[in-house]
Amino acid sequence: MDLIQTRYEIDRGIATITLHRPDSMNAFTPVMRDELITLFAEADLDDAVRVVVVTGTGKAFCAGADLSGGSSTFDTSEKSTIGNHRDGGGRVALTIHKCRKPVIGAINGHAVGIGITMTLPMDMRIAAEDAKIGFVFAKRGVVLEACSSWFLPRIVGIAKAAELAYTGRVFRAVDEAGSGLFNYVVPKDQVLSKAMEIATEIAANTSAVSVALNKALLWHGLGEGDPQSAHLVDSRCFYWAGKQKDAKEGIQSFLEKRKPAFTMNPSTDMPDFYPWWKEPKV
């Protein structure tokens, strides 16, 4: 598709998605929503992509929803009903969550509302220390969206999630550096380089199928009822992986003291029992 409000490039296994509305601090729109959904679906299917990095153009990552439409911005009653409405941020979040590739949010500047909630299904977040962050929905008369009521307490714990959601407080990333919301809080000019450093470490050294399975084990393990349930899934995946050529290559390269050359791809080489969870019908 022709990209209008995002940019997309692939280099050495790393796909970079850039939110690109610099004159509006990359405010989120339906066009951006549709482009992001398409790009994450494309990255998921492209074996040339090992890791996805998401950042913004200019001084902001994403200033939240575009409110230029006025006070009725969030009123979708003319287009949908309470039963069939699905918020745009949630559709983006679910697409990110379903992507088999690791996704790293390089939060280069302010991230408010959907600007921060869209990063929660990403696997890691690196933030500029002076970036303004806020789950401001209660201050706008609306509620958490983009599946953030599920993601946020799993990332920072229920008490911290409640504090951030109930107050709608806007804070500097550095003020929550220890909350678990961010992997790293660094000076603004180091955000993208830190994200690329981690992305390169993954892309250059690991099995794509191993990483895809680890991602699934971690995220879907959150829904397991007890450690034994997770143990059964871990065991099934480990048994399957141990028979594959990537495991043989991983061991052989270690013994020969050389870099591994993994050849398996998530698009064609996942186990026949993947996915092992049931997706709810929407």
Superfamily of domain 6-203: 2-enoyl-CoA Hydratase; Chain A, domain 1 (3.90.226.10)
Structure confidence by residue, pLDDT tens digits, 142-193: 999 999 999 999 999 999 999 999 999 999 999 999 999 999 999 999 999 9
Mean pLDDT (the chain) is: 95
Band of residue 68 on the pLDDT scale cut at 50, 70, 90: confident
The structural domains of the chain, with segments of one domain joined by +, span 6-203, 207-282
The span from the CA of 254 to the CA of 130, in Å, is: 42
Mean pLDDT score, 70-95: 76
Look at residue 71 and tell me whether its pLDDT is greater than 80: no
**Which fold does the domain 207-282 belong to in CATH?**
Lyase 2-enoyl-coa Hydratase; Chain  A, domain 2 (1.10.12)
Look at residue 127 and tell me whether its pLDDT is greater than 80: yes
pLDDT value at position 122?
98
